[in-house]
């Protein structure tokens, strides 16, 4: 889909700057980058170039689900993304289907900066907080089963609480859809 986005957006006159995720260094198939470079107005930047620096200079960002999409939205840029965890209605251009590409250039050119930006930021942050919970996410570091970090158990319990409320109406899907006794063992986050 990325190649098709580049094809359509360059045809509409946009310059495309491609920044690969730094953790992809050595893993990305070079064929993808070669296909992108074949389009006019496409520039591939080195891994050392900061994503934040690019966001400060670009009005439009495209990512599947990456955090640069979130950052772009918070900065007031047009953020084109897949159905990412941070997406809020009207604050992101969400690609759900390949047919969405047919009107992508027009959709992007018709977007105006959010006024006021603080309202958009508040919506996005509120959405993120709805799916978040407080825990020590580094409790796994140097984990020793003989001497477990109490924060690891706390993280498991909190995660279990959130998982139990995943039904569309907040119902306990695990209680309804797990086999009898499933998740009932000691240490299970579903207890």
Q: Which long-range contacts (CB under 8 A, 24 or more apart) does 152-159 make?
A: 153/187, 156/187, 156/188, 156/189, 157/189, 157/191, 158/133, 158/134, 159/133, 159/135, 159/189
Of residues 44 and 154, the one with the higher pLDDT is: 44
Domain boundaries, given as residue ranges, for the chain: 2-130, 134-191
Domain at 2-130: CATH architecture: 3-Layer(aba) Sandwich (3.40)
pLDDT digits 0-9 by tens, 136-184 = 666 667 777 787 777 777 777 777 776 666 655 655 555 554 445 555 5
Give the CA dihedral 172, 173, 175, 176, nearest 10 degrees: 120
77 neighbors 55 (Cβ within 8 angstroms): yes
Q: What pLDDT does 189 receive?
A: 46
pTM of the model: 0.70
pLDDT digits 0-9 by tens, 83-139 = 998 999 899 999 999 999 999 999 999 998 888 999 999 999 988 887 766 666 666
Q: What pLDDT does 157 receive?
A: 75
Q: Is 114 left (phi over 0), alpha (psi -120 to 50) or beta?
A: beta
């Amino acid at each position: 889909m990325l190649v098709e986005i580049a094809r359509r957006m360059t045809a509409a006159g946009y310059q495309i700057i491609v920044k690969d995720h730094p953790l992809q260094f050595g893993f990305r198939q070079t064929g993808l980058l070669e296909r992108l470079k074949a389009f006019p107005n496409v520039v591939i930047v080195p891994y050392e170039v900061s994503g934040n620096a690019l966001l400060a200079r670009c009005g439009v960002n495209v990512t599947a689900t990456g955090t640069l999409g979130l950052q772009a939205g918070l900065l007031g840029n047009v953020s084109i993304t897949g159905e990412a965890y941070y997406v809020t209605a009207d604050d992101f251009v969400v690609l759900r289907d390949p047919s969405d590409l047919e009107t992508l250039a027009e959709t992007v050119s018709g977007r105006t900066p959010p006024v006021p930006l603080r309202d958009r930021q508040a919506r996005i942050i509120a959405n993120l907080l709805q799916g978040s919970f407080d825990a020590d996410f580094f409790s796994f570091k140097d984990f020793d089963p003989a001497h477990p970090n109490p924060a690891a158990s706390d993280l498991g319990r909190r995660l279990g609480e959130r998982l139990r409320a995943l039904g569309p109406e907040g119902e306990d899907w695990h209680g309804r859809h797990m086999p009898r006794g499933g998740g009932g063992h000691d240490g299970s986050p579903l207890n």
